[in-house]
Amino acid sequence: MSLQFSFIIPVYNRPDEIQELLQSFDALEGDRIYEIVIIEDGSSKPSKTVVESFRNRLNISYFFKPNSGPGDSRNYGMQKAKGNYFIILDSDCILPKNYLKEVEKSLVSYYVDCFGGPDAAHESFTNLQKAINFSMTSVITTGGIRGNKSSVNKFQPRSFNMGLSKQAFEVSKGFGRIHPGEDPDLSIRLWNLGFKTKLIPEAYVYHKRRISWRTFYKQVNKFGLVRPILNSWHPDTKKLTYWFPSVFIIGFVLSIVLLVFSIKWLFIGYILYFVLAFVLALISTKNIWVSIFSIPAIFIQFFGYGYGFLESTMALSVLNKDPERHFPKLFFKVK
């Protein structure tokens, strides 16, 4: 089939991010036969002026709508788009020059109706952003599942860098109201509908994540909260590995308690783990400060996710709470 790409980009109060992202579009290699659809999700700091400055160089459509969350905004953009294959990006991403070439090459070689790509840290990112990127992608934290080549098939794409055919969108009705977690939910529903997904390792983006320690904790805590909800919706996708951050944190607390009784072996095990993380970060980034920051980044990631996972599991499995009523901030109201 002939591929006509439409980039779908929701934005909320981030004109500076849109500026950088559109600059990276301006540098993309190949013919500019794609369109860019930007959906302003009820922002008080709109990006319209930034978008207008690129109209003479890029094929852009701009829409403003009431705030209803990123999932609904992506659905809105896909309804307005003219292409037959949608590429969904977060506004805090930057595209490498060869991004679209790698996507098209992979889909022509082996077509699927949904793909995902990895994220990476650009050289211009802060040391904190690079440390968090290491924490979110390392084989010793997430197992590299956000971009490991062993995950090429049966991959759950993430919406910061995701492709979806028009047919798959129309059949699945797109993203649901939960956030975060709307992207794995969509992937699982697509599998159940008979569509295939895959990872395109070469189609990576530079993902800024708009990060501070506080916002990073809030992000990973929400990831932990939504996972038991997704497990309750899709029981056949449950995995023991989802428990790892919770077990890690419980074990760390236990190691501190054991130290009081002069039992050191468990605490020493954690020290060795963080030493290994430091060394791997240093090898990967060649930056001493990134390697130092990777230690609290990993701990915050595990604690935030692990605590959220335990809280949500207790609410759903023990107290039989309704997810939307108990965690209303995880669900957007579609107007």
Are the C-beta atoms of residues 58 and 33 closer than 8 Å to each other? no
Beta bridge partner(s), residue 277: none
The pLDDT of residue 161 is 96
The pLDDT of residue 139 is 87
Which residue shows structure tokens 């993430």? 158
The pLDDT of residue 151 is 46
- As averages over each run of 10 residues, the pLDDT of the chain (335 residues) reads 92 93 91 92 94 94 94 96 97 95 95 94 91 91 55 76 97 95 95 95 89 92 97 92 95 96 96 97 96 97 97 96 96 80
- Rounded CA separation 159/166 (Å): 16
Question: Cβ–Cβ contacts within 10 Å for residue 248, how many?
Answer: 19
User: What does the DSSP assignment read for 96-137?
Assistant: -TTHHHHHHHHHHHS--SEEE--EE--TTS-HHHHHHHHHHH
Positive or negative torsion for Cα 17, 21, 4, 178: negative
CATH 3.30.530.80 fits 5-117+157-211, yes or no: no
Residue among 117, 119, 88 nearest 103 (CA): 117
- Rounded CA separation 315/335 (Å): 28
The pLDDT of residue 33 is 87
b/e per residue 47-72 (b: at least 16 CB within 10 A): beebbeebeeebbbbbeebebbbbbb
∠ CA 61-101-36, rounded to 5°: 5
Q: Which long-range contacts (CB under 8 A, 24 or more apart) does 242-249 make?
A: 242/309, 243/309, 245/301, 245/302, 245/303, 245/305, 245/306, 245/309, 246/305, 246/306, 246/307, 246/309, 246/310, 247/306, 248/302, 248/306, 249/302, 249/303, 249/306, 249/307
Question: Cβ–Cβ contacts within 10 Å for residue 185, how many?
Answer: 23
- Rounded CA separation 21/72 (Å): 21
Domain chopping of the chain, boundaries: 5-117+157-211, 223-330
The pLDDT of residue 294 is 96
The pLDDT of residue 142 is 74
Residue type, 49: T
Beta-carbon contacts of 279 under 8 Å, excluding residues fewer than 6 positions away, are 291
